[in-house]
Amino acid sequence: MMGLRTLLLVSLFAALEPMLAAGSHRGRSMPGSPVNISREDRGLRRAVLAAAQFFNNQSNDAFLFKPSAVLGAQRQIIKGIRYFVDLEISRTVCRKRDDNNSNLSSCDLQPAGRLQQTIQCHTEVWVISWQNATRTQVFHCRA
């Protein structure tokens, strides 16, 4: 009898293993796992702007940078929403020292020339809306 139970358990695990290994649950992603999202997602736009602000605060460049392209994005619903984003940020014509540059949308990108610069980055931004908190946890770039 014990051998039959063991055989049944081994058979059940063998049947379920491909589904568990793929991280799927009836053809959908598992709860809590990251999912691809549209580049037009409102929450994503806020996360990308928060990441750009983080970059500008860390950078010693004389000019502000702003997002110029979102290459890919995922959202993970955990304690809040965590965004995983691959993006490009580009140097603008707005100088950091100017006080009227709090809105990046009014800053044009640098025209073609020696000051033009675009950087590819990966960022992870955690948004906890009920605490009114946005935290950029990871920000890695390569020129």
Q: What is the model's pTM?
A: 0.76
Domain 32-142 has CATH 3.20.20.370: no
Block mean pLDDT (10 aa), the chain, length 143: 55 50 55 93 95 95 96 96 97 87 87 96 96 95 84
Q: Give 110-137 pLDDT, tens digit per residue.
A: 999 999 999 999 999 999 999 999 999 9
And the tokens for 127? 């948004």
> Do 98 and 81 contact (CB within 8 A), yes or no?
no
**83: Cβ contacts below 8 Å, ≥ 6 apart:** 43, 44, 47, 48, 73, 74, 75, 76, 123, 124, 125, 126, 127
Q: What is the pLDDT of residue 127?
A: 96
Q: What is the pLDDT of residue 24?
A: 46
E strand or H helix that includes residue 11: helix 2-21
- Integer Cα distance of 60 and 14 in angstroms: 55
Q: What is the pLDDT of residue 27?
A: 55
